[in-house]
Amino acid sequence: MTKKILIVEDEFIVANNLQMILEEAGYTINGIAASAREAQEHIQQCKPDLVLLDIRLKGKLSGIDIARKLRAGHIPFIYLSAYANQDILEEAKTTEPYGFLVKPVREKDLLVALEIAWYLHQHSLESKLRREEQLQKSITDIGNEALDARQSLLKLAEVMRCYIPFDFIACGIRPLDAKKFTDTGYLRTGFDEYQFIGEKELETISGLNQSAFSGIIERSDSDNNAGIYNHGITENTTNNLLQRKLMDCLRMESYLVFPVAIGYGLSVHYFFYSRHANSYSKDHIALLNRLKICLEELANKTIYAETSSIEHLRQPLPAEKKQDKAAGNQAFKGIIGNHHLLLSALDLVAQVAPYNTSVLILGESGTGKEGVAQAIHMLSPRKNGPFIKVNCAAIPATLIESELFGHEKGAFTGAAEKRKGKFELADGGTIFLDEIGELPPGMQVKLLRVLQEREIEYVGGSKTVKVNVRVVAATNRNLEKEIAAQNFRLDLYYRLNVFPLTLPPLRERETDIEALALFFAHRFCEALNKPFNGIADPMMKKLYGYHWPGNIRELENIIEQSVVLNDGRSQLQLMRSFSTVTPEPAGKTAVNTFEEVKHIQQQTEREYITAFLKKTKGRIRGAGGAAELLNIKPSTLESKMTKLNIKRQDFIDSSENL
Ligand SMILES: Nc1ncnc2c1ncn2[C@@H]1O[C@H](COP(=O)(O)OP(=O)(O)OP(=O)(O)O)[C@@H](O)[C@H]1O
């Protein structure tokens, strides 16, 4: 069946041109809308499969307003824009488009973008349905375990966290007997760690005694319907004093409530609280509505009869901590920290890991992208298969193809034996393509083909080999900028960007600095067989005050240095001063000594010469050679190359070697 496309474009000529291209390619044009109003009418009447959407439209509403409606209706869309500046891109990104094309649009780009948008849409719908099915099953399983309210809520927290974010989850029976407090909750304190909060804990946190709480409960109305509330917004007509008190005590900014019936006129209310305003949306309520039957069953099967006895709630739950350390947690063993930005990223990891979906890990250098790639592998059904890492930046352009796909014997000079490439070595497992932004353009096309066909071709060979590999890629570059600068292919970006995951820089997760510093300190002390006497306060203060351009890797280096130079009797001291410059692009660490300056200078010179040699495919002399481009004598260039250990043969195109 041909797909129906709606074109929303107020420039008649552009719209007409798009229509012609699309019809020729076999699509059906559902209509052309020249304004947001017309677009809305078309969408309602003819339900397009996909929409091409101009961002700037005449009238009050823009393409972005339409996009929000399309998203709510699960209709995929691709933006068209004559401009692609950062502000427009940022705003467009908030609507999660399936593509972005800059006008004038080339026929080939348009058709590829449509194909990829459709693939992403199918894929996301399919995986969403599968994930929801899994979630329903998990909730039903909890109900079958005949747990009490406290145990059941802990298990619910563990399965829900990937679907609805929360810093505190709670539930309780309504209407309440004011003298008996049934609300119990869990504060999220780590990826899989929760702290129980019952009446007693709340009394301690709030400084209110039991009778004061009873007063609040008595005066508090219960929510009859599902709802979303933000602190300070008075739109809520319910007199929800209890929730407001909880928000104040636990420093929460928004919450979502979802009541389910348990018979006898009673209902159990589930609450999700967040430290951020606007954390909850109608999509979350829609999801809970789809889960309503399971949640009702769970509420009915959970042992609430006893929950009116506070004593029962106070009994310790012996298995609780052990359950926290379930198998999944093993995968995150080496990932230290519990800042909510890190936890949100790890939730996404847990969510995507079981599927074969490609994942693109974004984040500055040193933020832990490799650890996350390993966690994805460890949490996937491929965990017993190989995990193969390829650093795309570290392999010379001429060798990368054979490194990835293998080569036949005699494929080029030096290829004495047939050799398998990394893709084949990763068969049945995961390949981690680190620094994917550095992949040369020629290789980008070849990688795209492998991702589409799931088969490789040896260098110097003609047969194809099927591979069953999951691809996880990472980059510290802004790939959208690289696409704009034509350094990275849009079609490859869309193939890899099926599931993007961003790791926060260390300066944005300040609360994790101490835990990380202690973790590294223990590790290095153990490795160097030195006693650990703690970290001196002045050092800790400086660690907190620094902006960490090199992120966790830089912190690790600094702690290692302090441990190496520590006398084994005193606390760790900072052994070098930090740079005072403002945050640098990732990867650049503070420079202090002459040696470091010299090192950086050499690195820069190395990169500069390498770039020219790449361009000239290793040619040094003659017109158009690297020496001429660099404006130096060939003999000077050759001596610099020897000094910097740059080898000319690394840049000679392998095809020339045949
Ligand atoms: N959350 C964490 N807990 C403990 N150690 C971490 C954490 N995140 C990163 N590290 C450590 O920091 C160092 C840098 O991490 P990693 O190499 O994964 O960063 P990266 O983002 O892949 O960097 P690059 O972009 O430069 O490749 C590693 O030694 C890693 O073990």
Q: Which fold has domain 505-591?
A: Helicase, Ruva Protein; domain 3 (1.10.8)
Sequence ranges of the domains in the chain? 4-126, 145-324, 336-502, 505-591, 594-657
pLDDT value at residue 314 = 30
Nearest to 183 by CA among 167, 168, 171, 197: 171
Q: Which has the minimum average pLDDT: 59-73, 82-96, 359-373, 606-620?
A: 82-96
For 477, list phi and psi in degrees, rounded to 5: -90, 160
Q: Is the CB of 227 under 6 A from ligand 1?
A: no
Given the CA of residue 337, which atom of ligand 1 is nearest to it? 1
**Average pLDDT of span 464-468:** 91
* Kind plus residue range of the DSSP H or E element containing 59: none
Nearest to 55 by CA among 122, 23, 13, 101: 101
**Average pLDDT of span 556-562:** 91
The amino acid sitting at 441 is P
pLDDT value at residue 470 = 95
Cα 376 to Cα 191, 235, 431, 618, 640: the distances in Å are 15, 42, 11, 39, 43
Which range, 128-132, 541-545, 602-606, is most confident?
541-545
**Whether pLDDT at 379 is above 80:** yes
Q: Higher confidence at residue 363 or residue 2?
A: 363
The predicted-structure confidence for 173-231, as pLDDT tens digits, reads as follows 876 555 566 788 999 988 878 999 888 888 888 888 777 877 777 777 777 788 888 87
**Average pLDDT of span 59-75:** 86
pLDDT value at residue 318 = 34
**Average pLDDT of span 237-256:** 81
Q: Is the CB of 374 under 6 A from ligand 1?
A: no
Domain 4-126 has CATH 3.40.50.2300: yes
**97 preceded by cis ω (within 30°)?**
no
ipTM, two decimals, is 0.97
- pTM listed for this prediction: 0.59
**Whether pLDDT at 592 is above 70:** no
Q: Which fold has domain 145-324?
A: Beta-Lactamase (3.30.450)
Q: Is the CB of 509 under 6 A from ligand 1?
A: no
Nearest CA to ligand 1 atom 29: 553
Given the CA of residue 370, which atom of ligand 1 is nearest to it? 18
The predicted-structure confidence for 225-244, as pLDDT tens digits, reads as follows 888 888 765 445 556 778 88
**Whether pLDDT at 591 is above 80:** no
**Rounded distance from Cα 551 to ligand 1 centre (Å):** 8
Cβ neighbors of 56 (< 8 A, separation 6 or more) are: 62, 63, 81, 82
Q: Is the CB of 550 under 6 A from ligand 1?
A: no
* Kind plus residue range of the DSSP H or E element containing 229: strand 227-230
Read off the tokens for 184. 């119990």
Residue of 518, 552, 556, 560 with the most ligand 1 atoms within 8 Å of its CB, for mutation = 552
357 neighbors 495 (Cβ within 8 angstroms): no
**Rounded distance from Cα 369 to ligand 1 centre (Å):** 6
pLDDT value at residue 313 = 30
- Common-topology check for domains 4-126 and 505-591: no
Cβ neighbors of 252 (< 8 A, separation 6 or more) are: 167, 168, 231, 246, 273, 274, 275
**Cα 620–621–627 angle (5° rounding)?**
60
**Cα 211–216–217 angle (5° rounding)?**
95
Q: Is the CB of 364 under 6 A from ligand 1?
A: no
Residue of 349, 364, 370, 511 with the most ligand 1 atoms within 8 Å of its CB, for mutation = 370
Q: Is the CB of 367 under 6 A from ligand 1?
A: yes
pLDDT value at residue 631 = 67
| Residue with tokens 């004593």, as numbered in its chain | 311
Read off the tokens for 435. 């620094």
Cβ neighbors of 4 (< 8 A, separation 6 or more) are: 27, 28, 29, 30, 46, 47, 48, 49, 50
CA atoms of 599 and 614, how far apart (whole Å): 22
Nearest CA to ligand 1 atom 22: 369
pLDDT value at residue 177 = 58
Q: Higher confidence at residue 207 or residue 289?
A: 289
Expressed in percent and rounded to 5, the helix, strand and coil fractions of the chain are: 45, 15, 35
If phi over 0 gives left and psi between -120 and 50 gives alpha, with beta otherwise, what is residue 5? Answer: beta
Q: Is the CB of 48 under 6 A from ligand 1?
A: no
| Residue with tokens 């459709």, as numbered in its chain | 118
For 342, list phi and psi in degrees, rounded to 5: -70, -45
Write down the mean pLDDT value for the chain.
Answer: 82
Q: Is the CB of 556 under 6 A from ligand 1?
A: yes
Sign of CA dihedral 135, 139, 145, 149: positive
Nearest CA to ligand 1 atom 16: 368
CATH number of the domain at 336-502, please?
Answer: 3.40.50.300
CA atoms of 121 and 54, how far apart (whole Å): 19
CA atoms of 246 and 271, how far apart (whole Å): 11
DSSP letters along 115-142, please? HHHHHHHHHHHHHHHHHHHHHHHHHHHH
CA atoms of 653 and 443, how far apart (whole Å): 13
CA atoms of 352 and 203, how far apart (whole Å): 39
The amino acid sitting at 402 is S
**Rounded distance from Cα 341 to ligand 1 centre (Å):** 16
End-to-end CA distance of the chain: 47
335 neighbors 371 (Cβ within 8 angstroms): yes
Given the CA of residue 475, which atom of ligand 1 is nearest to it? 25
Q: Higher confidence at residue 59 or residue 32?
A: 32
CA atoms of 521 and 70, how far apart (whole Å): 51
